[in-house]
């Protein structure tokens, strides 16, 4: 496993992080025994960053039952506050504090390493940058989180976070993939200048870059041009006898300028494939064919969050 510095946090994180959303039942029921097995697999493989959230159903509770003191010493835990359901957002200072304190109880720990505000594009950014951010500072000062950050999809929003706040890290998703490389091209330069750690997620674009297609419990937000590009990429990979999801993970993990790429799964074989993708050399001629299918940059963004934040 490769390890990279998460900028000014000073934390060396594994290039593959483990996303716990599937363990919480977000995409269907998962047996507790299977949860333990896949967490053990991640830990034993050298993954040292676990990403979770109150939004992810039972994820924090299950992670807390698995997390022994010995494991806690070796694991970086990133959780979130502010989003609690599909349409349930509350970024008020009081709710952020309540959320973290509940997370600490569920996770069976005295602190988390990173506390993010979750999917901020659905709220008023000016308010978040004042009142919500102030509470993050307070919680960090109290030792309940070591570092603070924000997560979201729109590049415009995340760039504002980097430029206008003093967060330690940000996480964005589906922004360093075969379909869209705007994390590395548009965010990475300013993040490096401001020493903000970058976390990448959704290498397979929430299922678009998989042979079976997306299996989300809601309609995929990608526009038509992105869907068509993904379909062409799948066809090209299949014609070459390759798995598009494996190539998508190779690209996202190996070529991103983020410190880590979060891979969420409840299946050990999928986790092993992602870890293998981190070190398997990329088929460059095939990659060139795939990247040629990318939609025009203006057609890549998904319509997520408040319109003024996109």
Residue 300 is predicted with a pLDDT of 96
Q: What gap in Å lies between CA 240 and CA 220, rounded to an integer?
A: 27
Beta strands 112-117 and 145-151: pairing type?
parallel
Q: Which of 56, 153, 173, 251 is catalytic?
A: 56
- Rounded to whole angstroms, how far apart are CA atoms 72 and 278? 24
Distance (Å, rounded) from C-alpha 64 to C-alpha 72?
A: 10
| pLDDT tens track for 253-300 | 999 999 999 999 999 999 999 999 999 999 999 999 999 999 999 999
Check if CATH label 3.20.20.100 holds for domain 3-309.
Answer: yes
Q: How far apart are the first and last CA of the chain?
A: 35
CB neighbours (10 Å) of residue 184? 18
Q: Mean pLDDT over residues 121-149, rounded?
A: 99
| Mean pLDDT confidence for 1-25 | 97
Q: The dihedral of CA 140, 304, 173, 297: what is its sign?
A: negative
Cβ atoms of 168 and 148 within 8 Å: the answer is yes
Q: Does residue 217 have a pLDDT over 60?
A: no
The residue ranges of every structural domain in the chain are 3-309
Whether residue 56 lies in the annotated active site: yes
Tell me what the mean pLDDT of segment 41-57 comes to.
Answer: 98
> Given pLDDT bands bounded at 50, 70 and 90, which one contains residue 26?
confident
Instruction: Please tell me the predicted confidence (pLDDT) of residue 216.
Output: 58
- pLDDT for 212 equals 78
């Amino acid at each position: 496993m490769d390890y990279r510095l998460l900028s000014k946090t000073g934390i060396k994180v594994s290039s593959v992080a483990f996303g716990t959303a599937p363990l919480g039942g977000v995409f269907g029921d998962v047996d507790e025994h299977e949860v333990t097995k896949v967490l053990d697999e991640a830990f034993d493989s050298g993954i040292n960053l676990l990403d979770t959230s109150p939004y992810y159903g039972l994820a924090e509770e299950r992670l807390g039952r698995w997390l022994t003191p010995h494991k806690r010493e070796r694991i970086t835990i990133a959780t979130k506050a502010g989003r609690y359901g599909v349409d349930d957002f509350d970024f008020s200072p009081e709710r952020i504090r309540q959320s973290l304190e509940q997370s600490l109880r569920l996770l069976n720990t005295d602190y988390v390493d990173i506390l993010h505000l979750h999917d901020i594009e659905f709220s008023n950014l000016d308010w978040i940058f004042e009142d919500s951010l102030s509470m993050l500072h307070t919680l960090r000062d109290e030792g309940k989180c070591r570092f603070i950050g924000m997560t979201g999809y729109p590049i415009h929003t995340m760039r504002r976070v980097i430029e206008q706040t003093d967060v330690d890290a940000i996480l964005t998703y589906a922004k360093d993939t075969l379909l869209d490389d705007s994390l590395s091209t548009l965010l990475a330069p300013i993040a490096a200048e401001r020493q903000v750690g970058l976390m990448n997620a959704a290498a397979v674009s929430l299922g678009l870059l998989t042979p079976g297609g997306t299996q989300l419990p809601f309609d995929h937000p990608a526009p038509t041009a992105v869907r068509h590009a993904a379909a062409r990429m799948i066809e090209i990979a299949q014609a070459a006898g390759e798995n598009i999801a494996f190539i998508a993970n190779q690209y996202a993990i190996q070529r991103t300028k983020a410190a880590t790429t979060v891979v969420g799964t409840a299946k050990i074989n999928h986790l092993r494939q992602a870890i293998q993708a981190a070190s398997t050399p990329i088929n460059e001629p095939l990659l060139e064919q795939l990247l040629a299918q990318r939609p025009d940059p203006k057609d890549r963004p998904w319509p997520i969050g408040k319109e003024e934040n996109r």
